[in-house]
Structures are given as structure tokens and as C-alpha cells.
Amino acid sequence: MVNLLSNWTYSTPAASSQSSQELSVLDQFFPGWVLAIFENQGGDTPRFLSRNASEFWGMTDEELTRKTCHDIEAMIHPDDLDGYLRCRRRMAELQKTLKPSEALHYRFAIQYRLRPHRHLAYRHVYGEVLTYLDGQNRTAQAMMYRDASADRVSDRVQLTWYRTHGLDYHKVGSYIPATAEQGLTVREEEILHLIKEGFSSKEMADRLSISLNTVKNHRKNLLRKTQSRNMADLVHTVTAGLS
């Protein structure tokens, strides 16, 4: 991916056949994805490369050329915007800890809900940010978007980052705003530990000398704070989000 994007930045308007060939390669490696790059250091307006960008955003190519990151953020579901912005800040903090040579090997993915056009329904979007070298051998950023409505069943906003190894990559960590910002109480941490150990609600109540209803309330609070679907999702979410 890094090499493909680097090659693209060498293209000029006169090299239309080369540009078309590179777009075909991008579409082949990332079918269904919308790809964009930031051509200027610190720029706020992405340049969309893939042919399906217009269809994904529900607007013309000309309209897309005028869209800034702020315009795109305005399309995010109101309930997800704060979490999305927190994930972006967290991502920026992590990127600052990386050397330029290291940044080339990291991918940051955020999942959230977005409505590209007011006449369309909100969709679950999986977006990735990665670093590549431009034509002047400077680090620049690219973005990739995919409609993940078919395989994203959770409304939870989450940031996950990966380190690449050749064509392969593995998960390094994740950040869930609800978990990180609200935190867990001491009692909730005790309940979570017992859940991970396989205790039932009745056994937790007896062990902690509290009522069964209190245990159930703590379990509900844990699900709410972590935006988890069930207890199994809760354990995975908190373990990953606080790592």
C-alpha cells in the first residue's frame, strides 16, 4: 500500500495512462475501498483517488474536490462525533511517539457511523489512516474508507492500531473512548475480574457480600460504559481498550 501511494504521487496530468493504470492497481488490491491522500503537509482537504469515491459519498467529483476534513466530520452521527474526535486525538498522540521511519509501518483504524448525504441512511464506516512517502520523500498521510454496515453490528466507536510486516499486519492495541473517559469504579473492576473468572451473579453477590440486584446493576453499568453487547464482548472490550 505504501509503495502504491508513493508511486501515485509521481503522476502528472500528462501521464493519464499511467494514472489510470495505478488506479486499476489500487482498485484491485482494495476493492470497495475509497482512497484519499493529503498532498500538502498539514493540509485539510483530501484528494480522493478511487473511482467509487463519488458513489460512496453521494456527490459529484467536483463537489468532492471542495470537501474538507471538517465537512466530512459534519457527516458523522451526532452520538459518534465526540468519540470519533477523541479517537483522532488519541491517534495523533500515538503518532507523535513514532519516528518517521516507524510511522510507515503503522495503520490506524476507526469505526463509526456516518451519513454521506442527507438523503441516505447512516452507515457503519471503517476508516484507516496510514503514512507513506510522497514524491519528495516526505511523510504524508492517506485515508481509506469502507462501508462496513454488513459486518459491523456494534455502534461502539473504537480506534485500533496495527503494525505491518510486509503484506501482513498484526494488532498492537485499541482505544475505546467510553472506557477510557468514564473509567471503572473499584467495585466494577472487582465484578469484571469475577466475570472473567467465570463466576455467576449469585456467586459474585455471596463473595462480595452484596445483594444480587447490586451485582446486576454493576453488570449493566459495565455494559453501558464500554458499549458492549454482552459479557463476552465486555471482557474483550475492556481487556483490549485498557491495554
DSSP per residue over 93-123, as a string? Answer: HHHHTS-HHHHTTEEEEEEEEE-SSTTS--E
Residues of the chain with pLDDT under 70: 1-28, 39-43, 152-155, 178-184, 227, 236-243
Q: Which cell is 30 given?
A: 482494495
Q: Which cell is 88 given?
A: 483522532
What strand order describes the sheet that includes 158-165?
47-48, 34-37, 139-147, 123-133, 106-114, 158-165, 168-175
Are domains 2-175 and 179-241 of this chain identical in fold? no
Q: Give residue limits of the domains in the chain.
A: 2-175, 179-241
- Judge contact between 112 and 125, C-beta under 8 A: yes
Domain 179-241 fold: Arc Repressor Mutant, subunit A (1.10.10)
Q: How many residues can be counted in the chain?
A: 243
pLDDT at 9: 44
Give the CATH class of 2-175: alpha beta
In this prediction the pTM is: 0.66
pLDDT at 215: 93
Instruction: Please write the tens of the pLDDT for every residue from 13-71.
Output: 333 444 455 455 556 677 788 888 876 555 678 888 787 888 888 888 888 888 888 88
